[in-house]
Amino acid sequence: MINALIIICAYLIGSIPSALWIGKIFYKTDIRKQGSGNLGTTNTFRVLGKKPGIAVLLIDIFKGTAAVLLPLLAVFSDSTVHPLILGIVAAAGHMFPIFASFRGGKAVATSAGIILGYNLPLFIVLLIVFIISLKTTKMVSLTSMIASTVAIIYVTINWIVTGEYALFILVAILASFIFYRHRENIIRIKNGTEPKIKGF
* Other Cβ atoms closer than 10 A to 138: 16
* Ramachandran angles phi, psi of 148, nearest 5°: -65, -40
Report how far apart, in Å, the C-alpha atoms of 49 and of each of 7, 37, 80, 81, 87 are: 34, 15, 42, 38, 28
Report, in angstroms and rounded to the nearest whole number, the Rg of the chain calculated over CA atoms: 17
Query: What residues contact residue 135 under an 8 Å CB cut-off, 6+ apart?
Result: 200
pLDDT tens per residue, range 102-143: 999 999 999 999 999 999 999 999 999 999 999 999 999 999
Report residues of the chain scoring pLDDT below 70. Answer: 199-200
pTM of the model: 0.92
At residue 157, what are phi and psi to the nearest 5 degrees?
-65, -40
The tally of CA atoms less than 13 A away on the side-chain side of residue 42 is 25
Cα dist from 129 to 18, 91, 103, 120, 172, whole Å: 25, 21, 29, 14, 18
Total length of the chain? 200
Res 36: pLDDT = 84
pLDDT at 199: 63
The confidence score (pLDDT) of residue 178 equals 94
Name, in order, each residue with C-beta under 8 angstroms of 192's C-beta and a sequence gap of 6 or more. Answer: none
The answer to whether the beta carbons of residues 68 and 58 sit under 8 Å apart is no
The pLDDT value recorded for residue 106 is 92
pLDDT of amino acid 197: 84
| Contact by Cβ (8 Å): 81, 3 | yes
Question: What amino acid is encoded at 43 in this protein?
Answer: N
